[in-house]
Structure 1
Amino acid sequence: MLGTLKPTDDGRFALRFERRFRHPQAKVWRAITETDQLRAWFVQILDYDRLRFDLGPGARLVFVPKAEHEAMGIGYGQVTRFDPPNLLEYTWDSEKLRWELEPDGDAACRMVFTNIFDDRDSGVSLGAGWHAGLDLLEASLDGRETNQPAWESPQADYERTLG
């Protein structure tokens, strides 16, 4: 299912995804909070050996790109909401990323992920990128090979719906 894009009250834009995983909430929480698990699915341009992602209320975050992506520069953030294993919210430069988890039966979890950003034109590329990343998350949770999926297919879908 594609993400949805809506304006926020403060003039920004919220890209929202809802996914259901056939895994317990605790397992999904670990996948979105532990660096060794983020490597398998999260933003693929990051250098996870230099990333600073120590979570807790008010924690400072540092997003370091791999050498071949140095031109993007280091990103900085801060944890704004932290309620394990239900809610994680943090900033990454001017963006806000919010992860909400809730149990869905005994062995499943429902996730709502929202990315808030300034420029509506970014919605297509962010939508395709997060869509591909969440597909990778599902594969990682399922124990399937997590090769980086092609983002071109969701890119075309997001261009049609958000462009």
Structure 2
Amino acid sequence: MSHRAKYTPGPAAGARIQKEAEKWTLVLVRDLPHPPAKVWKALTEPEHLREWAPFDADRSLGAVGTAKLSTVGTPTPLVSETQVKRADAQKALEYRWGGNDMRWELEPLGGSGTRLTLWHNIARGYIAMGAAGWHICFDVLDQLLAGQPIGRIVGPEAMKFDGWQRLNAEYAQQFGVETHGLTSGPRT
């Protein structure tokens, strides 16, 4: 059985929401047993993003300036131009994706680990789905950094993946929001 076939996401954890007026922000925190330099490469370099992220980049995101991000797993290619607004190597990265602001922060942990925090503005109706999707992306990222890549699991493929429906429901319950019409079976 392949490493990917054995993968099952853990329980919904490490996420919260912030609301300012009508703006909703998903905040995800994950402690990774990998040094900031290695995590930074995975967040910024196209060949690493291709292994775990829900989009491809046409250049390194490790420098301020224009880049094109192509959403993966959509029926038709969805390419958006973005501005990398902040790129402080191994510390912080900010850009927009799909019209939403994203901010990544890397904080060294004791030993050689990194606390990775993502702030992602997202519509309220999709916030549990976003948390479930990023949860799986972070798991895939952790496996990649550990030298045991299982391949990107994003978009419609992620929604069919064992554990996604459960994560979506768990995050919706944690956040006090409805799941967005993609659950299996009737809602009770």
- TM-score interval, smaller chain: 0.7 to 0.9
Corresponding position: 1:74 with 2:116: no
Name the CA distance, whole Å, in 1 between partners of 2:120 and 2:128: 12
Q: 2:130 aligned to 126, 129, 147, which one?
A: 126
Supply the RMSD in Å over aligned alpha carbons.
Answer: 2.0
Q: 1:142 aligned to 131, 143, 146, which one?
A: 146
1:118-149 deviations in Å (ceiling 9; x for gaps): x2112111111111111111111112242436
- Gaps (5+ residues) in structure 1? none
Secondary structure of 1:39's match?
helix
Shift of 1:161: 1.9
1:3 maps to which residue? 15
2:39 maps to which residue? 28
Secondary structure of 2:52's match?
coil
1:53 maps to which residue? 59
TM-score, structure 1 normalization? 0.84
Aligned length: 154
For residues 75-94 of structure 1, the aligned pairs below 5 Å read 75-94=80-99
Corresponding position: 1:157 with 2:161: no
Shift of 1:89: 0.6
Q: Which has the larger radius of gyration?
A: 2
1:97 maps to which residue? 102
Secondary structure of 1:154's match?
helix
Q: What's the % identity of the aligned pairs?
A: 28
1:80, 1:89 within 8 Å by CA — same for their partners in 2? yes
Name the CA distance, whole Å, in 1 between partners of 2:118 and 2:100: 13
